[in-house]
Structure 1
Amino acid sequence: MKEAIRKVIEQEAEAIKSIPVTDNFVKAVDLIFERVHKKKGKLVASGMGKAGQIALNIATTLSSTGTPSVFLHPSDSQHGDLGVVQENDVLFLISNSGKTREIIELVELAEILHPGLPLIVISGNPESILAKSADAFIYTGNPSEVCPLGLSPTTSTTVMTVIGDALVVSLMNKIGFTSEEYAKRHHGGYLGDKSRLQARILKEEQDKTKK
């Protein structure tokens, strides 16, 4: 069993290393920066099923690191929640197939509400309608799932998560996000304590430099 577990980890690690790092990563970061930090909009993330859970995680991580983001469930968007979308926002959509019906419908409805809303799409299908509609398309590399049935989202969701982490870190660097700013957003738990400690140490060092 340990050998089988090791093989799963190795296969997923290889999929991560095989993610195509293209100019679209940079384009996505610049687009988020333009819409959220310059035009004061927000990132609206969406996805169905497991991809939706990854989208939610990316949205909450972005929010805690200085880039306001929300998660919009594609089904709920058809029952009034689409109203959360505003004209300066950017849609951030995840669909491994690139043809998830609910996500395509979300794009169509958002276009009616705010024509020309930019789209960032993460998908394993570069020929899909979502990929071709995107202003910035990030390809996962379409790795094979480690699921023994080849069905359950496993490797694909790992890769999606890592792509999200890369975007989060790139944005943190671009906006110069600090421990002090993190502490303002994350008050509870170990991370809240750690960020406040880091901010306090940094301030003490800056005060010493001024003297």
Structure 2
Amino acid sequence: MDKTANQMIRETAARVLRLEGQAVVDMAENLPADFEAAVAAILEVEGRVILSGIGKSGHIARKISSTLASTGTPSAFVHPAEASHGDLGMVMPGDLVILISNSGETAELGDIVAHVARFSIPMIGISRNNQSTLMQAADWRLTLPPASEACIIGMAPTTSTTLTLALGDALAVSVMERRGFLPEHFRTFHPGGKLGAQLSKVAQLMHGVEELPLVHPGSAMGDTLIEMSEKSFGIAGVVEDHKLVGVISDGDLRRNMDGLMERKAGDVATNSPRSIGPDMLAAEAMAVMSEHKITALFVVDDSGRPVGLLHLHDCLRAGIA
């Protein structure tokens, strides 16, 4: 393509992004009147938050349901067509239903609307038409602000779906924060991949007490070297009164080569060594190792007693980098 064509493409992209971005900003400054009540209703649900929609609204509903589920709110998507053929049984008293329809007149949602009314299941409606059939049936109305679609013919769902998606994120994050959702809770729902690895705690990756290379300050260096060799971490912890008081690394051995075998472990060890707690994020522990150019850290409890050891290789194997 020539420069003129490329420029036209960039101008189109910029126009779409500006239009949709401005629509989101406008909604942020004028949230739907029932927004706070909708958040409170979700927080009170004893069952699941059920989402449904057809077409593009269905895709957005699936994403909102997934976001809720991954941030501590049990949720599921029910396809409206499948609901009419048996899946209405998935929507039970104790649940809350969120129905999405840009026009608010989507015929396929009719059976779900009738079902929730019959069993007094609370319902949130999301639509741009506050006077629509859907919104009139809803207990809480999240009305989208008026905004033109970004496509050149003004008909393809673009701005409207972006607004709905952003509003769903706002709901999920508001609920998440009110629940006091923490990183350790997040990892429960994201155990795999890079994200799960970054949220791993030291306790989940460390080697246990039985694997620790430990000696006493008065241990002969011959015995200390055997302990270091058998445990294969390139490090030994010096323990006194059950507390970690020193660490012997390969570097300590090299610095004390002169008369090494005549010394005791306490003479060679680095005193007041760096250590970590079992509840620290493994990514944070790896940052400590990187900053101080070390490859292993002893894990101690609140009393200073060694309870584990985390090696750089453990972090790398877990996908933390």
Residues paired across the two proteins, number = 204
User: Does the CA-based 8 Å contact 1:121-1:131 persist in structure 2?
Assistant: yes
More helix by share: 1
User: Does the CA-based 8 Å contact 1:82-1:110 persist in structure 2?
Assistant: no
| Residue among 113, 117, 142 paired with 1:107 | 113
Q: Deviations over 1:111-170 (max 9, x none)?
A: 33x2x1111011100111111221111111131101112111111000000000100110
- Distance change >3 Å, CA 95–CA 203, structure 1 → 2: same
Instruction: State the TM-score, normalizing by the size of structure 2.
Output: 0.60
Which residue does 2:31 correspond to in 1? 21
Which residue does 2:16 correspond to in 1? 8
Q: Secondary structure of 2:34's partner?
A: helix
Q: Aligned residues: percent identity?
A: 39
| Residue among 39, 53, 60 paired with 2:66 | 60
Gaps (5+ residues) in structure 1?
A: none
Which residue does 1:203 correspond to in 2? 279
User: Does the CA-based 8 Å contact 1:98-1:125 persist in structure 2?
Assistant: yes
Query: Displacement of 1:174 after TM fit?
Result: 0.6
If asked which structure has higher relative contact order (CA below 8 Å, sep 6+), I would say 1
Please tell me whether residue 137 in structure 1 is matched to residue 141 in structure 2.
yes
Which residue does 1:164 correspond to in 2? 168
| Residue among 163, 166, 182 paired with 2:186 | 182
- Distance change >3 Å, CA 198–CA 154, structure 1 → 2: farther
Q: Secondary structure of 2:125's partner?
A: strand
Paired with 1:93 and 1:202, the residues of 2 have a C-alpha distance of 44
Which residue does 1:31 correspond to in 2? 41
Q: Which moved more, 1:69-78 or 1:19-28?
A: 19-28
| Residue among 83, 90, 96 paired with 2:102 | 96
Query: Displacement of 1:73 after TM fit?
Result: 0.4
Q: Which moved more, 1:103-112 or 1:145-154?
A: 103-112
Instruction: State the TM-score, normalizing by the size of structure 1.
Output: 0.89
Q: What code does the residue aligned with 1:34 have?
A: E
- Distance change >3 Å, CA 84–CA 198, structure 1 → 2: farther
Paired with 2:278 and 2:74, the residues of 1 have a C-alpha distance of 25
RMSD in angstroms over aligned alpha carbons? 2.2
More strand by share: 2
Query: Displacement of 1:197 after TM fit?
Result: 5.3
User: Does the CA-based 8 Å contact 2:202-2:280 persist in structure 1?
Assistant: no
Gaps (5+ residues) in structure 2?
A: 1-8, 205-276, 282-298, 304-321
Paired with 2:67 and 2:203, the residues of 1 have a C-alpha distance of 19
Which residue does 1:72 correspond to in 2? 78
User: Does the CA-based 8 Å contact 1:45-1:91 persist in structure 2?
Assistant: yes
